[in-house]
Amino acid sequence: MNAQAPHTKIIDIEGKSNDELRFMLDPYLQWCRGEGIPIHEEFCVDLHTLETKPWARMGIDGAFVHMLGRGDFISVFLYDIAPGAQSAPQQHLYEEVMLVIEGHGSAKIETHDGQTHSFEWGPDALFSIPLNARYQLFNGSGTERARIASTNDLCVTMNMFHDEGFIFETPTRFPEREGPGDPGWFAGEGEFVPSTRGRQMWETNFVPDVTAFELRDFASRGAGSSNIQFCLADGVLHAHTSEMTAGTYKKAHRHPPDYHVFIVSGHGYSLFWYEGEDDYTRFEWAHGSVFAPTDMIFHQHFNVARTPARYCATAMGSTRYPFTAEKRELKLGVDVSVTKEGGFQIEYEDQDPRIHRLYLEELAKAGVACRMGEFMDESVLTQGAAE
């Protein structure tokens, strides 16, 4: 499977590196190497098991999680908070969307008017730190660690300004990012923003549990699919949660890089392939898995659990602020057929029949009944199975 190349150094004829010559630089990766914590570069990882080490800046353990499909705009930090510990106070000019992987604790956020907002979080909570607001994270357990995945846009911010002092010490505040002044936005309350074709949006700063949040129908993405978009702290970082019921799978689609898919319930697998390839790359997933499909690779998600499976996806370019023309085009065509209308999705009747037959085999192993016949004509994909 093709993947983005890892960071490499270019050597000139005199044996000097590009770092020494000061060209072809990546300030973000240079900053990461200087932080002294592990840097994981993979296609799919389990956030429950990744190695972390003490991170002086944060006052807790941590790691950089650089998925191969992360693109140029976002990356993921893993915060590992020991029992009873707390992070050092932070304030910075980049956005963060945090998903709690395990543990219980609280967050304290100071807004521009001097008020302090505190809320408690547990597994699968989703929240955002308003831009340049001062905050701390606390582990509320005396016996169990807590792990939080932070999707953030420090990489593009650092590469744009390449000035650590400016990013971490700027005093300017952004009141409009903090919410309407109602403390409920830091307590799980919010506002529903209706739309069409899967772009219904919930605006808030804190979602207590994405596995329990009420989703909206998005059947055009396949097999009774449902989802909800989130607008967190009026930011440019995207987040949405989607669900597959038992015995179903999503339609294949592709898109530009940087979409990070975090599994929050259920278990199953995904297939990945580039257009024109005959074989598929497969990854198994369960709670705590995260993967980021590389640029324009087709991918398809399959639930083999007896219960619904959910994932939470983050990316650059929110539904409110798509950020690039490419992301705007994707949001309008994510459920549009590749073959018929030039969109990003493969309809069931156009997919390789091997994909459906493999799914039937996996369900049989798991003892789960297939429900795909409720949503499409299975005969189109099962004919010729005995040939």
Query: Residue 5 — φ and ψ, nearest 5°?
Result: -70, 145
The pLDDT of residue 343: 86
Least confident stretch, 29-43, 234-248, 323-337: 323-337
Q: What is the reported pLDDT for 387?
A: 40
Please report, rounded to a whole number, the percentage of residues in the chain having pLDDT higher than 70.
92
pLDDT tens-place string over residues 60-114:
999 999 999 999 999 999 999 999 999 999 999 999 999 999 999 999 999 999 9
Q: Which tokens belong to 223?
A: 């097999």
Say if residue 5's pLDDT is above 50.
no
Strand partners, 141: none
* CB 66 within 8 Å of CB 75: yes
Residues 36/52, Cβ–Cβ less than 8 Å: no
pLDDT band at 314 (very low <50, low <70, confident <90, very high): very high
Tell me the range of 8-12, 173-177, 185-189 where mean pLDDT is highest: 173-177
Give the CA count within 13 Å in the CB-facing half-sphere of 56: 4
Average pLDDT of the residues in 189-204: 82
- The residues pairing with 201 across neighbouring beta strands, listed in sequence order, are 193, 229
CA angle 340, 346, 351 (to 5 degrees): 110
| Distance between start and end Cα atoms, the chain | 28
Give the per-residue pLDDT at 8: 52
pTM of the model: 0.92
The pLDDT tens digits of the residues spanning 130-148 come to: 999 999 999 999 999 999 9
State how far the Cα of 121 lies from the Cα of 208, in Å rounded to an integer: 6
Q: What is the pLDDT of residue 200?
A: 86
What pLDDT is stored for residue 2 in this prediction?
Answer: 44
Question: May I ask the CATH class of domain 18-180?
Answer: mainly beta
At residue 181, does pLDDT exceed 70?
Answer: no
Residue 333 gets the label, from left (phi > 0), alpha (psi -120 to 50) or beta, of alpha
Residues 6+ apart with CB under 8 A from 117: 108, 109, 110, 111, 183, 186
**Residue with structure tokens 């709670």?**
287
| 349 has a pLDDT exceeding 50 | yes
pLDDT at 375 over 80: yes
Fold adopted by 185-382:
Jelly Rolls (2.60.120)
User: Residue 7: its pLDDT value, please?
Assistant: 53
pLDDT of residue 1: 47
Residue 279 sits at φ, ψ, to 5 deg, of: -110, 160
pLDDT tens profile 12-53: 546 666 667 678 899 999 999 999 999 999 999 999 999 999
Q: What pLDDT does 385 receive? A: 45
Average pLDDT, integer, range 262-281: 97
pLDDT of residue 191: 92
Where along the chain do the CATH 2.60.120.10 domains lie? 18-180, 185-382
Q: Mean pLDDT across the stretch 187-192?
A: 91
Q: Residues 273-302: what's their mean pLDDT?
A: 97
Query: Residue 236's pLDDT is what?
Result: 97
